[in-house]
Amino acid sequence: MWPHSFVEKINRQNWPRLLAAFSAAIVATCPVLAGEQPKSPADGYNIHIVAPHRHEDGAVHGPYHHYCKPIKPEIMQCMIFLSTDPNAELIEIEYFIDQKLVRSNVTLEQWNTHYHDHKVEVASGRVQVLDVSPAKTKEIAEAASKTDGIIFHLWPEGTKVPNGEVMFPTSISHKPVTKLEIEKDAR
């Protein structure tokens, strides 16, 4: 089919170039070999929020660095650290949940013990959205204001490792309520 001299010429002169071309084609079409990582649940925590928290004993701690991402239209989850160090320990987890969803699914006692109103927290001025434009900051703050938050503190202060004790800090501005009301503009 191919002339013998053509095959010999390819074998002798172009073998290194052909091998390099085929190798490059394989690497370029294979995401893992090309250095791309497959998608994972850890992707997308790009919303950076800083805020202090009040622990169950009343002491104020922080500021805490929240790295958040929306996981559903009505829920955003945050990984929370004490610093921006790439090797910082994961100290807390917080969920920002649509007020209507929370307030129609928890008791008044559960809400007063574990939740806080982000509208009140944002209005306090203690929350900062970092690494985005002022317009995006306003958009994030407005969306957060329609949510309630619940924080799970997983790594007790002063311990070398998590010990299984889970605490429920809240925002500094948290005030218990006598009735769970759902604002008409809450979505």
Within 13 Å of residue 70, how many CA atoms lie on the same side as its CB?
A: 8
Phi/psi-derived region of residue 44, left when phi > 0, alpha when psi is between -120 and 50, beta in every other case: left
Instruction: Name residue 141's beta-bridge partners.
Output: none
Mean pLDDT by 10 residues, the chain (187 residues): 51 54 52 72 95 92 96 97 97 97 95 94 92 95 95 95 96 87 58
What is the C-alpha end-to-end distance of the chain, expressed in Å?
Answer: 70
- Residue 60 structure tokens: 């104020």
The predicted pLDDT at position 45 comes to: 97
- Residue 107 structure tokens: 């008791």
The predicted pLDDT at position 11 comes to: 56
The predicted pLDDT at position 4 comes to: 52
| pLDDT single digits (tens) 114-154 | 999 999 999 999 999 999 999 999 999 999 999 999 999 99
The predicted pLDDT at position 16 comes to: 55
The predicted pLDDT at position 19 comes to: 45
The predicted pLDDT at position 9 comes to: 54
